[in-house]
Amino acid sequence: MPAPKRIVVGISGGVDSAVAALRLLEAGHEVHGLHMTNWEEDDAYCSAAADLQAARRVCDDLGIPLHRVNFAAEYREQVFASFLDDYRAGRTPNPDVLCNRHIKFDAFLQHAHRLGAERIATGHYARLEHQDGVVKLLRAVDENKDQTYFLHAVRPEALALTEFPLGELTKAEVRSRANAAGLASHDRPDSTGICFIGERPFREFLARYLQGAPGPIITPEGRQLGEHAGLMFHTPGQRTGLGIGGVAGSSEEPWYAAGKDPARNALIVVQGRDHPLLWSRHLVTGPARWLDSDVTGELAASPLQVSVRIRHRQRPVNCTVAADDAGALTIDAEAPLWAPAPGQYAVIYRGLQCLGGAVIDRALPL
């Protein structure tokens, strides 16, 4: 067995982080819990106080010390400000990726070092493989819970100091182990919504920070069907919240947001999930971040035959990836990708290994 280490585990109060700490204790390590407060809005949707109480109960159940740290200022500066900037620009950001890169595996890691930690651990569903001083990020055994999509932008140096104790387990096994150990969190519901902000009425929340400019909702042919409250409230593939209803002379198929025309401040909608404007085989991204440093050299020699995800839980689709001199990618997928959104991430895989990813700039419809 590896020599025992002091490992600081991010304790959210949920079952995943609790079982991550439990497994490390069972392996003989000195385990400390660290609970982060990253959002302090005092409203009905902020669960910070309840989460802290749940984290205390977890650590009491496990008999480990609990430390507490407030990263609310760092979160607003390094994650939330970028989140708002992307929405102002008409994009659809994914703050969980930035939260992992800047907060959970940077600010958290630095604080854990100050607590004397040799390594950190979280309840993420992912696996790490260490070979000759190089760490590889691998998809979890439980494909339905795999979180490598959200981890692709974490610095490799941080991953090298990280443990993912749940990577070999299914969610059902995690809950079973928590129940067998008598952990109160064994049946606590999974957290949902924006990283640390939680599940809440999104339009009302965003309107507290950004001013929407009303504009027309139109078909690709230019027929106006209604008015939107602001392009920032909509994203490609969105079905609910369009406020269109039945349209005379149209079928009963549902309407979907298919794109935005900033010049006219217009939201473009189409009918039917299979409309070709909702599908794309060709993506263009900004500069990529690679977990595997060898990928840059490989791309300089020839395009890569790999696979891509454009959202969490999506089955990776085989694709060809090429890069320009600035590191931006062109991605040609073998099968059509549904509703790619500028601002979201295209994450690249080779088999089970997550290689890295990049922000989608634009997608060419079929």
CATH of the domain spanning 6-187, picked from 3.40.50.620, 3.10.310.50, 1.10.1060.10, 3.40.640.10: 3.40.50.620
Which residues have CB under 8 Å from 33's CB, separation 6+? 8, 9, 10, 11, 21, 55, 58, 59, 62, 64, 65, 66, 67
Which residues have CB under 8 Å from 130's CB, separation 6+? 136, 160
Catalytic residue among 59, 99, 319, 354: 99
pLDDT tens digits along 349-364: 999 999 999 999 999 9
SS3 state of residue 47: coil
For residues 279 and 318, the answer to whether their CB atoms sit within 8 Å is no
Tell me: domain 277-365, CATH 2.40.30.10, correct? yes
pLDDT for residue 105: 98
Catalytic residue among 46, 59, 195, 319: 195
225 vs 244: CA distance, rounded Å: 7
pLDDT for residue 1: 41
pLDDT tens digits along 149-161: 999 999 999 999 9
DSSP3 helix / strand / coil % (the chain, rounded to 5): 30, 30, 40
- In percent, the amount of the chain with pLDDT more than 90 equals 80
Tell me whether residue 354 is one of the annotated catalytic residues: no
Q: What is the mean pLDDT of residues 224-248?
A: 88
Q: Do the bridges between strand 215-218 and strand 224-228 make them parallel or antiparallel, or are there none, so unpaired?
A: antiparallel
Q: Where are the domains of the chain?
A: 6-187, 212-273, 277-365
pLDDT: is 15 or 133 the higher one?
15
Number of H helices, E strands in the chain: 11, 18
∠ at Cα 236 (230, 241), nearest 5°? Answer: 55
Q: How far does Cα 354 stand from its chain's mean position?
A: 14
89 vs 60: CA distance, rounded Å: 46
pLDDT for residue 192: 56
Taking CA atoms, 204 is separated from 23, 77, 89, in Å, by 40, 21, 18
Give kind and range of the element (H or E) at residue 298: helix 294-301
DSSP 177-245: HHHHTT-GGGGPPPP-SBTTTBS--HHHHHHTT-----EEEE-TT--EEEEES-GGG--TT--TT----
φ/ψ of residue 172, rounded to 5 = -60, -40
The span from the first CA to the last CA of the chain, in angstroms, equals 54
pLDDT tens digits along 291-317: 998 999 999 999 999 999 999 999 999
At 322, the amino acid letter reads A
122 vs 18: CA distance, rounded Å: 9
Tell me whether residue 99 is one of the annotated catalytic residues: yes
Range from 46-55, 59-68, 201-210 carrying the lowest mean pLDDT: 46-55
Tell me: domain 212-273, CATH 2.30.30.280, correct? yes
Q: What is the mean pLDDT of residues 190-211?
A: 73
For residues 258 and 270, the answer to whether their CB atoms sit within 8 Å is yes
pLDDT tens digits along 72-82: 999 999 999 99
